[in-house]
Structure 1
Amino acid sequence: MSQNSDWISFDVRVIPQTQNRTFFEAAALANVQRYYRLTWQKPAKIEPGQIWQFTARMKGISSIQNQGGFNQQKHYISQHIIAKGRVKRAEILNEGTSIRQKIMEVTLPILQRLSHGDILQALIFGDKSALDDARWQQLRQTGSGHLVAISGLHLSVVFGLFYGLLMLGTRALAPKQHRLRVQVIMLVAALITLGYGYLSGFAIATQRALLMMLLLVIFSLVKQFSHSWDRLLYALFFVLLIDPVATLGAGLWLSFLALAIILLAVTPQPISNKPATPLAAHSTNGVWQKCMTTGRAMRLALWQGIKILWSIQWRLAIGLGGLQAVLFGMVTPHSIWLNLLFVPWFSLVAIPLTMLCFCLWLLCFTVFAFLGTDLHVVTSVGATLFTLANFSLIPFDKLLHLSDHLPWALLPISEQALAALLFMLIAILAIHLRLHSVVDKRIIRFCLMILCLPVGFQAIAAWQQRGLLNQEYAGLWQMHVLDVAQGTAIVMQQGRHGFIYDTGAAYGEFSYAKRAIVPFLTARGISQIDYIVVSHDDNDHVGGLSVLLQAFKSSQLIADFSDTPHSQNAMLQPCSGNMRWLNVDIQLMANPLIKANDNNNSCVMSVTDGLTRVLLTGDIEAPRELSLLQSDNNITADILLVPHHGSRTSSTEAFIEAVNPSLAIVNAGFANQYGFPKADVMARYHQRNVLTLQTGYVGQISLTFTERGYKIATYRQDLAPFWYNQLFKFGETTKAE
């Protein structure tokens, strides 16, 4: 559950009706977890475990689709969210809450008083809602996010901690040990770890670790040997059996890959058959030899531990770093040495202390509740108990703040560079596996050379970008019409140079420039924005301007307004005249209408490479279209950005006939509140056999221009034609203008 101003967002599960159903039908329905993401303005108090009856207006989970950035639609499916809705009415049926929620209610107020309570909250309950944006940024740039997400590391530490404590306690009471006692202790430690998994919410990594732990316990009880790889495969089988769409989430891939890397790195060492030198042969120095042997053994054990830790860590850094680059489009160079410090500290100090403090707090709270102790006393005792756990996180917090000042802490990586690095990684793996010993050396050398070529091309492109080589542009250029819901954002690309027309909308702290445009630029390898054109001062066109100007400070701003807070005193150029941007010619058409409204003040721009012409129109309406027809400007175009998102106030018959496009693109969100584009407006284009595309239906639209014309590629059909990216039309309605 998240809250923003007077709105909250939360997930609910529909309780299936089991009346008039067979036992097997009811069981099947209960096993299918389907959730709905609801938003509620000025809500009542909602807690997990309650039963409510909601009346809500529902719609599908289809979201914006562009290269780069967060795929919300894929995330919804991986979380079993099948629809979104807005609450109209609500009635509570059962106020009962879960045990986990009751424990959180008495514990969170104590944690919130501590300096590192946000991390403690994540470590104990798997609840990361207290982590703010600055903390998340620090976790990303240090590669330490896995330490605050309950995973196999945490459960292994908890199991080992309580297993060791119980063994020590029983050995102190009864020194003589037997197998039944060990089995009972193992079961108790497993149950405690299972309870910890319940408190953390049973995430994918938690499920995997719990399954492997339970399999280990079961095999130990029945005296059946099992290999670690067998248990890993069993865990994967059961996770996918319970939740097949878990493959769409990053958690499953990161979790299982991490353990696979650890199993590959830690290989069993053969037992030495060399006989030990009997101490009796050195009777005069027996004590000294024994001390020397013990010290040598300790140093050897310490050195072996350091070697194993390094062996695991560099492999995890490369393996998980590569996977994170694929999943999130960024790499963290400092994560290798930082995790060499973080992982041992969390394993040996932070997690054990946190769990011991939490268990003591639960015990004290239970006793105080039974005795009826004053709440103020209970809170004071809890704060005192958690102080030690809070103190153990000080070194971690210091290093997190240090990462804010480290160079290259978080490096975005383009799709082209990522593909090149993956090919080079395959070449390194081939060398590591010594394939030249089983394959002809000339063949393997040729293959390695081919695999390393993409990295060479990327290096040449980087040198060109830095001016180390003279950069020559071919006739190839692209135009990308981004899917930013009910708004406009267009990026023209030539190599690493970009030209942006409109910046999408912004609502409070949310901005489509952050959500879609900047991640897209990173994915495409566009590192320099030469010009930003803002058609007019409406939020759905200018909302993301401040974000883009902050990210690309050297950009030239072209707009016909100067009194907006978005411009941030940027270099401002009026929308008029002709200009050349690398290999394309651009004409900015001045607005002759003196008393025009905001829409008719839109900056109209014509772009041509000498073969194909594109006309960008902003939100112009019929009066401005008429003025363009009466002007001396050449408005004929092969590709037209449909004016005003397909409103009835624009796209007149005369204007369409004068432009005479072969392709018309509409920037309009799916099932938007305005009902754009209007069916009768689209009919005018279809009557002239004009191909029409809408970003809300096909996602990002990318046009590649060559000497032979242009090619069209859409996100849902061409760039990422996967089943989970299809358009879910549930809730689509025809709306009035």
Structure 2
Amino acid sequence: MRTGMMALAVGLLAPVFMPALPPVWLMLALPVAGLLVLPFRSYPLVFLLFGLTWTCVSAQWALGDRLPVALDGETRWLEGRVVGLPQSGDGVVRFELADARSRHDKLPTLMRLAWYAGPTVNSGERWRLAVKLKRPVGLLNPDAFDYEAWLLAQRIGATGTIKDGQRLAPARGAWRDSIRQRLLEVDAQGRGGALAALVLGDGSGLSREDWQVLQDTGTVHLLVISGQHIGLLAALMYGLIAGLARLGIWPLRWPWLPWACGLALAAALGYGLLAGFDVPVQRACVMVALVLLWRLRFRHLGAWWPLLLAFNAVLLFDPLASLRPGFWLSFAAVAVLIFTFGARLGPWRWWQTWTRAQWLIAIGLCPVLLALNLPISVSGPLANLFAVPWVSLVVLPPALLGTLLLPVPYIGEGLLWLAGGLVDWLFRGLAVIAGQWPAWIGPSLPVWVWALGSLGALLLLLPRGVPMRVLGWPLLLILLVPPRERLAEGMADIWQLDVGQGLAILIRTRHHTVLYDAGPRFGEFDLGERVVLPALHKLGVAKIDLMLLSHADADHAGGALALMRGINLRRVVSGDPPGLPAALRAEECETGRQWQWDGVHFQLWQWSDAEDSNQRSCVLQIEANGERILLTGDIDTHAERSLLDSPLAVPTQWLQSPHHGSRSSSSMALLKTLQPESVLISRGHGNSFGHPHPTVLARYRKQGLRIYDSAEQGAIHLQLGRFKPPWTMRQQRRFWRDPPAVAR
């Protein structure tokens, strides 16, 4: 039976790693094949085929519920019901709309919408909305968060921006939203948002600074409902009944073990109901139920058997759960604990158990976090040492009890005031730790390096005295300082990152790094912090010798301050220094300035008669081994005419499309003079500016240019000096991504 369960787990997981789903005829043939081998008692194969079929069919259903390509970018009037907990922040209301209907078009079952400067939206309301619809796409960068996979796992078939709308019916049965409003309004010493996260799993009330502190200290799991919260409440209820029985207070006519297991499960389900029963909560409840069943009836089966059953139960209920990082982290953490504390010859003292558990979980999860491209908290073991019992035993009881007693005057509010103060003390302590030891984002690793590091972590989890255990430390350290392949002299490695409606291009030579533009920032949404900085860390960039900000517009220079705070930045040059924050200390772009790094030639140019920031863009030409690229910022046709009289007006293989391909740029004179072979476009999918303009695209095609568009192909990687086509992120096939676009 265990072999069959392991085969089922493999079958349920396998499709997630496939570049494409099998064709429909093969999906139909798999269960038939399973029935054919059933008489031969090949049960593991039957389980494998069943798991494979179930995940493939579920994934195909989710993909089939996506917005049709014909409606991408279209605006439609539709009606639907608000579900979940709407989020408000930075002047934007975001929520999910279910059961949407349009007069003529079939729409996805669930959509995620954004309403800029919109009214208050409550869960359970029905709305009629004018929505600009988009297929579920996201930014694609090396080893970054995959937004498209997350949307598919959530069964969200479309996103959209609301243009107008009207409420058709008030909220019905939205008691969770009502509780959230009470938690946000109650006097909780300024920590109502944290209590809403702890009680309801709604983190929208936490500030960016709060999230950063939690990430740096590895304590995100404590403030947003996870399996730990559900399991904790169940354990407290079980421990309470067991303690009463041990003290002789529990009635003898009631067997304490069945009552303890039953009440613990009831507590877990009740907390899950309060948290909305989303997928992480469902997963936790399944695991708690199986653990309690194991405790009640099957104690002789060991700890690994219920973990395997819980693993399969979660994937059977939600086959796409493995697309979420939280799925892997939760099961990996439990597996590390079982492996660490199981089969020991002697018990540890309680304080040894608690301290070692934190360090061993940190070691065990290190390879998992790197594989999932998540930051690693250096201070996590220390922070969790006191944060876990503080939240579990001190904060959570008054928070839950205060929420339940909110209808009782003074008592519920008083308990929440106390819980808010306790949470505030927690954040103050965590902020001190985070200030000293911020989270570390590891570089991308070759598979063999990751495998050696994982072996090192496994060795360190073994008991003392095991032969060769000491080799775990050097093997684990390989993950921290992996070997790097240096570029050849005279070559330049270039990444055009996918930053939406903005620009960020990374240029690396053998020993130096240049960043041309820093990505956009719109309000509090900083792509420099969220995309560019993590990408630099993943690519192994420890310092930037020169950050060249073409001009001061927010879509090009908005992320500069975040980069200055997060990486060693040696020099800043810009075409428009007065328009930038004084903290950057940007220098003027000097026309004609040239230099050479590691055999790669760089040259700057700026239009002397520029009248606005776009025209003042600092242009950079890079030449490696006779192959050239021209980075143009947002210059227009007037600046282009002047450029044609400069030394940069020479045949150039690569052209960064001026001003994202706007109609006011990319003149035919520029294209004929430079004679580019390929053009790079950086722009947002379905952007409101209409970039790139159809006229400009027609001009590129007329000249026979190959067009590489970040909105269609994600981040683009080329090695200047090799005269070879680039590699794009959509060439990394995943079944939930649209096929890679061919360079036009």
Question: Given the two structures, how large is their TM-score scaled by the length of structure 1?
Answer: 0.78
Query: Which residue is 1:709 aligned to?
Result: 723
CA spacing shift, 1:192–1:137, aligned 2, 3 Å: same
Query: Which residue is 2:665 aligned to?
Result: 650
Contact 2:457 2:476 in 1 (8 A): no
CA spacing shift, 1:5–1:693, aligned 2, 3 Å: closer
- With 226-235 and 388-397 compared, the bigger mean Cα shift is at 388-397
Is 1:477 the counterpart of 2:495? The answer is no
C-alpha distance in 1 between matches for 2:248 and 2:317: 42
Alignment of 1:6-45 (within 5 A): 6-14=91-99, 34-45=109-120
Alignment of 1:566-605 (within 5 A): 566-568=581-583, 570-583=585-598, 584-592=600-608, 594=609, 598-605=613-620
Alignment of 1:685-696 (within 5 A): 685-696=700-711
Query: Which residue is 1:99 aligned to?
Result: 175
Query: Which residue is 2:307 aligned to?
Result: 232
C-alpha distance in 2 between matches for 1:529 and 1:309: 42
C-alpha distance in 2 between matches for 1:548 and 1:215: 47
Alignment of 1:521-670 (within 5 A): 521-551=536-566, 554-568=569-583, 570-583=585-598, 584-592=600-608, 594=609, 598-670=613-685
**Any idea what SS the aligned residue of 1:518 has?**
helix
Shift of residue 8 of structure 1?
1.0
Query: Which residue is 1:315 aligned to?
Result: 360
CA displacement 1:596-635 (0-9 Å, x = unmatched): 5544433232211232111222233333333333445442
Query: Which residue is 1:241 aligned to?
Result: 316
Contact 2:487 2:509 in 1 (8 A): no
CA spacing shift, 1:4–1:343, aligned 2, 3 Å: closer
Shift of residue 481 of structure 1?
1.3
C-alpha distance in 1 between matches for 2:297 and 2:692: 67
C-alpha distance in 2 between matches for 1:113 and 1:728: 50
Query: Which residue is 1:23 aligned to?
Result: none
Query: Which residue is 1:291 aligned to?
Result: none
Shift of residue 429 of structure 1?
3.4
Query: Which residue is 2:201 aligned to?
Result: 126
Residue identity matched to 2:662: S
Residue identity matched to 1:97: G
Contact 2:512 2:597 in 1 (8 A): no
Residue identity matched to 2:176: R
Is 1:413 the counterpart of 2:413? The answer is no
Shift of residue 213 of structure 1?
2.4
Q: Which of 207, 225, 236 pairs up with 1:161?
A: 236
Residue identity matched to 2:413: A
Structure 2: segments with no counterpart, 5+ residues: 1-85
Shift of residue 139 of structure 1?
1.4
Residue identity matched to 1:158: L
Alignment of 1:189-228 (within 5 A): 189-218=264-293, 226-228=301-303
Shift of residue 194 of structure 1?
0.6
Alignment of 1:279-318 (within 5 A): 304-318=349-363
CA spacing shift, 1:197–1:589, aligned 2, 3 Å: same
CA displacement 1:72-119 (0-9 Å, x = unmatched): 333322322221122322232343133333444444433x43355444
Alignment of 1:72-91 (within 5 A): 72-87=147-162, 88-91=164-167
Shift of residue 246 of structure 1?
1.6
Shift of residue 667 of structure 1?
2.1
Is 1:401 the counterpart of 2:415? The answer is no
C-alpha distance in 1 between matches for 2:101 and 2:294: 37
Shift of residue 128 of structure 1?
2.0
C-alpha distance in 1 between matches for 2:647 and 2:295: 87
Question: Given the two structures, how large is their TM-score scaled by the length of structure 2?
Answer: 0.77
How many equivalent pairs are there? 650
CA spacing shift, 1:453–1:246, aligned 2, 3 Å: closer
CA spacing shift, 1:514–1:347, aligned 2, 3 Å: closer
C-alpha distance in 2 between matches for 1:339 and 1:725: 37
Residue identity matched to 1:585: H
CA displacement 1:198-223 (0-9 Å, x = unmatched): 11233444323311222344566777
CA displacement 1:38-82 (0-9 Å, x = unmatched): 122454442223333434221122122222544333332232222
Contact 1:528 1:552 in 2 (8 A): yes
Alignment of 1:479-498 (within 5 A): 479-495=494-510, 497-498=512-513
Shift of residue 524 of structure 1?
0.9
C-alpha distance in 2 between matches for 1:15 and 1:227: 47
Query: Which residue is 1:340 aligned to?
Result: 385
Is 1:726 the counterpart of 2:741? The answer is no
Contact 1:157 1:347 in 2 (8 A): yes
Contact 1:497 1:529 in 2 (8 A): yes
**Any idea what SS the aligned residue of 2:339 has?**
helix
Contact 1:52 1:94 in 2 (8 A): no
Between structure 1 and structure 2, the one with the greater Rg is 1
Q: Which of 242, 256, 259 pairs up with 2:334?
A: 259
Residue identity matched to 2:174: S
Contact 1:504 1:543 in 2 (8 A): yes
Structure 1: segments with no counterpart, 5+ residues: 18-28, 272-300, 369-377, 462-470, 730-737
C-alpha distance in 1 between matches for 2:473 and 2:205: 49
C-alpha distance in 1 between matches for 2:354 and 2:108: 39
Residue identity matched to 1:382: G
Shift of residue 694 of structure 1?
1.0
Contact 2:199 2:275 in 1 (8 A): yes
Shift of residue 580 of structure 1?
1.7
Residue identity matched to 1:14: D
Contact 1:545 1:567 in 2 (8 A): no
Contact 1:641 1:664 in 2 (8 A): yes
**Any idea what SS the aligned residue of 2:538 has?**
helix
CA spacing shift, 1:454–1:391, aligned 2, 3 Å: closer
C-alpha distance in 1 between matches for 2:552 and 2:576: 7
Contact 1:183 1:221 in 2 (8 A): yes
- With 607-616 and 254-263 compared, the bigger mean Cα shift is at 607-616
RMSD of aligned Cα (Å): 3.9
C-alpha distance in 2 between matches for 1:144 and 1:412: 16
- With 227-236 and 247-256 compared, the bigger mean Cα shift is at 227-236
**Any idea what SS the aligned residue of 1:411 has?**
coil
Identity of aligned residues (%): 27
Q: Which has the higher contact order (CA 8 A, sep 6+)?
A: 1
Residue identity matched to 1:683: A
- With 62-71 and 551-560 compared, the bigger mean Cα shift is at 551-560
C-alpha distance in 2 between matches for 1:598 and 1:16: 45
Is 1:384 the counterpart of 2:399? The answer is no
Shift of residue 240 of structure 1?
1.6
Shift of residue 433 of structure 1?
6.9
Contact 1:68 1:516 in 2 (8 A): no
**Any idea what SS the aligned residue of 1:255 has?**
helix
Residue identity matched to 1:722: R
Is 1:186 the counterpart of 2:216? The answer is no
CA spacing shift, 1:348–1:675, aligned 2, 3 Å: closer
Residue identity matched to 1:587: Q
CA spacing shift, 1:229–1:693, aligned 2, 3 Å: same
**Any idea what SS the aligned residue of 1:81 has?**
coil
Is 1:508 the counterpart of 2:523? The answer is yes
Contact 2:630 2:652 in 1 (8 A): yes
Contact 2:512 2:545 in 1 (8 A): yes
Is 1:351 the counterpart of 2:426? The answer is no
CA spacing shift, 1:357–1:652, aligned 2, 3 Å: closer
Residue identity matched to 2:385: L
C-alpha distance in 2 between matches for 1:42 and 1:453: 49
C-alpha distance in 1 between matches for 2:421 and 2:443: 40
**Any idea what SS the aligned residue of 1:492 has?**
strand
Contact 2:321 2:327 in 1 (8 A): yes
Q: Which of 111, 136, 140 pairs up with 1:65?
A: 140
C-alpha distance in 1 between matches for 2:420 and 2:614: 56
Q: Which of 204, 210, 214 pairs up with 1:135?
A: 210
